[in-house]
Amino acid sequence: MFIGHFGLAFAAKRVAPRVSLGTAFLAAQFVDLLWPSFLLLGIESVRIAPGATAVTPLVFEHYPTSHSLLAVIGWALALGGAYALTRKDTRGAFVVGFLVLSHWLLDAIVHVPDLPVAPGMDLRVGLGLWQSQAATFAVEGPIFAAGVWLYARSTLAKDRIGRYALIGLVALLALVHMGNVLGPPPPSVSAIAWLGQAQWLLVAWAYWVDAHRGSRVSAV
Ligand SMILES: [Zn+2]
């Protein structure tokens, strides 16, 4: 899953207005931000096999440190805990932790059964939505659209950057998603890893957008 994760991060503004969109992006995509580094370090591995699923040509061979349920629970506690220690925002800390965990839950919908439950355990899960392009668009698109809508309604642009940087970010995410689903397979695993590192720019972009938007509503 790609933009569905960002959809949830956008939506988080509605329940935790003090959490920056950048922090929400960091949390919702945390394990996908770790994954490229683990690939480059040789800790985890992926294989390119065009046609592996209708959506992704990637075969996730080994990624228990970033993507096993047990590890993701650990990352969620770590990130939520770090947020709690640095901000006086208990609600925000829970939302940050939940966003980290939500990544695994959403991935479990789209992945074929390759998501490990715990490192060293053979049990792998995945409902396999990626077997269909139409189903993938039908699930991820509305999650993303609803999230963006909630964020736009919960915040107000302070200036032109707050308006246009948000529109640019949403358009870029939608384009990358289309490219991921419909485009050609990546040329190499190192290309995947380096392109994956570029996601940090999305986090920075989201902090930039959020700094130029003010809260419109109080928390629900
Ligand atoms: Zn993932």
> DSSP letters along 53-82, please?
SSS--EEEEE-HHHHSHHHHHHHHHHHHHH
Cα distances (Å, whole numbers) of residue 155 to 212, 215, 216: 10, 5, 5
pLDDT tens across 177-205, in order? 999 999 999 999 999 999 999 999 999 99
Q: What is the pTM (predicted TM-score) of this model?
A: 0.96
Nearest residue to 103 via CA among 207, 205, 184, 2: 2
pLDDT tens across 36-76, in order? 999 999 999 999 999 999 999 999 999 999 999 999 999 99
Residue 217 pLDDT class (50, 70, 90 cuts): low
Ligand 1 center–CA 179 separation, angstroms: 17
**Other beta carbons less than 10 A from residue 107's beta carbon:** 23
Instruction: Summarize the confidence of residues 159-177 as an average pLDDT.
Output: 97
> What is the pLDDT at residue 220?
52
pLDDT tens across 37-47, in order? 999 999 999 99
Residues whose CB is under 5 A from ligand 1 (ion)? 32, 107
Ligand 1 center–CA 1 separation, angstroms: 7
Residue 216 pLDDT class (50, 70, 90 cuts): confident
Ligand 1 center–CA 63 separation, angstroms: 10
Ligand 1 center–CA 66 separation, angstroms: 8
Q: Residue 186 has what DSSP assignment?
A: P
> What is the pLDDT at residue 218?
59
Give the Cα separation of 75 and 82 in Å (integer): 10
Ligand 1 center–CA 8 separation, angstroms: 14
Ligand 1 center–CA 135 separation, angstroms: 18
Cα distances (Å, whole numbers) of residue 52 to 49, 77, 82, 185, 210: 6, 33, 38, 11, 38
Give the Cα separation of 183 and 185 in Å (integer): 7
Least confident window among 46-55, 84-93, 98-107, 210-219: 210-219
Give the Cα separation of 205 and 202 in Å (integer): 5
Nearest residue to 75 via CA among 119, 19, 34, 23: 34
Are residues 26 and 187 in contact, defined by beta-carbon separation less than 8 angstroms?
no
Strand partners, 47: 59
Ligand 1 center–CA 209 separation, angstroms: 24
Q: What are phi and psi of 155, to 5 degrees?
A: -130, 165
Give the Cα separation of 194 and 186 in Å (integer): 11
Ligand 1 center–CA 214 separation, angstroms: 30
